Amino acid sequence: MPPAFHAAARALLSDPLTNKGTAFTEAERDRLGLHGLLPPHVGTLDSQIARRRRVLDGMADDFHRYAFLRELQDSNEVLFHALVQADLPRMLPLVYTPTVGAGCERFSEIWRKPRGLFLSHPNRDRIPDILADPALDRVKVIVVSDGERILGLGDQGAGGMGIPIGKLALYTACAGIHPAEVLPILLDVGTDNAGLRDDPLYVGWRNPRVRGEDYGGFVDSFVSAVTDRWPGVLLQWEDFAGHNAHDLLARYRDRLLSFNDDIQGTAATAVGTLLSAIHRTGASLIDQRIVLFGAGAAGSGVAELLVQALRAEGLDEAAARARIWAVDRDGLILSDMAKLTPPQMRLARHPAEVAGWMRDAEGGLGLLETVRAVRPTVLIGASGQAGSFTEAVVRTMAEGCARPVIFPLSNPVSRAEAHPADVLAWSDGRAIVGTGSPFGVPGVTQVNNVYIFPGVGLGALAAGATRVTDGMFMAAARALGAMGGAGETLLPAIENLRSVALRVAVVVAAAALADGVASAGDEELTEARIAALMWDAAYN
């Protein structure tokens, strides 16, 4: 055989989008020159899944399982996605939260093969050339991060690439976006994590973070190159620090089809789960007193969607905001505090409202003092402050509420505001609990953004939307809240995430049409039409 034939055979096996491993048939091995490069056994996708499951079962911990799955994804995309789709309850925590947190922290240690694009600041003038790669012609969905606020772990620099990779694995698993149509991108503008810069294994740009106009210009160059390369692409902003997250969303949401999952996806997931919880209590949304702990990108996003939901129930703007008390690192947010962000200003209470409140030893109004005064029915944590929902906080809340709704949502597990078993114990089993990460506690719902963002993306693409509107996220939240779960859980089972994504996509596409941002018509947005767009992992 000529050398070119051998080279083509090796290239076929080296490309994760074309490699089938032992599942290449005898006829394919003859035609493609694969004999000798593969063992003689001809397998099936099912037998390959069984082999990988056995390897996973023999591993000592979830981090090594995560690393193993990342290598599998880089060698055989169909097998990786088939394995994930076959057992979502087990695989979801391995490919994303909570294990992805360790994957980001140790990213440089386990990096093996290129996946996605690292667009570094020193290469800012080369971005259009980098994006021009013909292998990227099919891209429809991009998830991008700059690695500054990874989960509750802070600045992980180039290690933040683990988040776009993980999110896009879920786009494929849940929404059926073909793996050739997704692209993870890390904007490497340096890191302020000195430990990473000093680590000889660190794979990123060893420089303090670029900020200010230089940062803004870099991101703008990136967005311009993306819109030139892929008109109509969906871009998801992920794990940017709060001061950039809101600015970038506001700047670009009307320029290309884009949304921020930390702000909008978290909000829709939390509000949808809250609607399900309130339905269990028999009360209405406008009867709730809501304390929000953590008013960064995620927390403020939850608050704004709650205001939208409350207004839909008939309240005016002022009355809706009066139902929400936001507590951040300096305590209850008051309008006379210095250095409040614009989203925090919208949540601030007037100092006169708290004039008679009991204060802590330093004269402050922390979470416990706020709970004592407000007697909330709902407590939502998006702070990244582990253990902040103390026994005193939970017991005080439970004293004034028969079925308190308590959501410690921060990820990973090490950053959760409380362990759900403790919340249940301190509330005498009366609390309705949702957590950001899986804890394995019976009756506790995992309030994971995976219930929202894949369906929002699929629906936006199916509708040919030109922008992602607030109405599309509100529709997604209401649809999720209406789905409910079995037994004590508030959301559908993890194994049903594909049907959840499809249902969310249908209502999001309809909302896009209603909001006047869709290019598709009613006849193209039926559930059957959208379902037909979803890819299943199988060999051709």
Ranges of beta strands (E only) in 209-304 are: 234-237, 258-260, 290-293
The CATH number of the structural domain formed by 93-256 is: 3.40.50.10380
Distance CA 242, CA 299 (A): 10
Q: Is 202 a catalytic residue?
A: no
Tell me what pLDDT residue 274 has. Answer: 98
Q: Are 222 and 131 in contact (CB under 8 A)?
A: no
pLDDT band at 183 (very low <50, low <70, confident <90, very high): very high
Phi, psi of 312 (to 5 degrees): -65, -20
What proportions of the chain, in percent to the nearest 5, are helix, strand and coil? 50, 10, 40
Judged against a pLDDT cut of 90, whether residue 485 lies above it is answered with: no
Read off the tokens for 487.
């037994």
Q: Where are the domains of the chain?
A: 93-256, 264-445, 451-531
Residue 152 has a pLDDT of: 85
Distance CA(267)–CA(258), nearest Å, equals 16
CB 131 within 8 A of CB 226: yes
Supply the DSSP symbol for 180: G
Q: In the predicted model, what is the mean pLDDT of residues 337-345?
A: 93
Query: Which of these is catalytic: 20, 66, 140, 167?
Result: 167
- Strand ranges inside 308-383, DSSP E: 324-328, 331-332, 378-381
In this structure, is the dihedral angle defined by the CA atoms of residues 145, 148, 149 and 151, taken in order, positive or negative? positive
Q: Tell me how far apart the alpha carbons of residues 156 and 237 are, in angstroms, rounded to a whole number.
A: 16
Provide the pLDDT for residue 513. 98
Do 93-256 and 264-445 agree at the fold level? yes
Cα separation, 94 vs 332, in Å, equals 36
Residue 1: the pLDDT is 56
Q: What is the mean pLDDT of the chain?
A: 96
Residue of 96, 202, 252, 451 marked catalytic:
96
pLDDT at residue 502 is higher than 70 = yes
Contacts of residue 538, defined as CB under 8 A and 6 or more positions apart, other chains included, come to 45, 78, 82
Q: What is the pTM of this model?
A: 0.95
The third-level CATH classification (topology) of the domain covering 264-445 is: Rossmann fold (3.40.50)
pLDDT at 477 over 90: yes
CA distances in angstroms from 85 to 49, 76, 174, 202, 328, listed in the order given: 11, 14, 8, 32, 38
Lowest-confidence pick of 218-227, 409-418, 501-510: 409-418
Name the token pair of 473: 């996220």
Task: Give per-residue pLDDT as tens, 248-262.
Answer: 999 999 999 999 999
Measured CA to CA in angstroms, residue 483 lies from 47, 309, 495, 497 at distances of: 35, 17, 14, 12
What does the alpha-carbon distance between residue 482 and residue 362 come to, in Å, rounded to a whole number?
44
Taking alpha carbons only, the member of 33, 31, 27 closest to residue 13 is 33
pLDDT of residue 4: 77
Question: Confidence class of residue 27 from pLDDT cuts 50, 70 and 90?
Answer: very high
Residue 2 has pLDDT above 80, yes or no: no
**What integer is the mean pLDDT of 211-237?**
98
C-alpha dihedral (205, 208, 212, 218), degrees to nearest 10:
0
Reported as a single tens digit per residue, the pLDDT across 523-536 is 999 999 999 999 99
Q: Mutual orientation of helices 367-374 and 391-399 as an angle, nearest 10°?
A: 10
Task: With cut-offs at 50, 70 and 90, classify the pLDDT of residue 484.
Answer: confident
20 labelled catalytic: no
pLDDT, tens digit, 9 for 90 and up, residues 99-147: 999 999 999 999 999 999 999 999 999 999 999 999 999 999 999 999 9
pLDDT of res. 510: 98
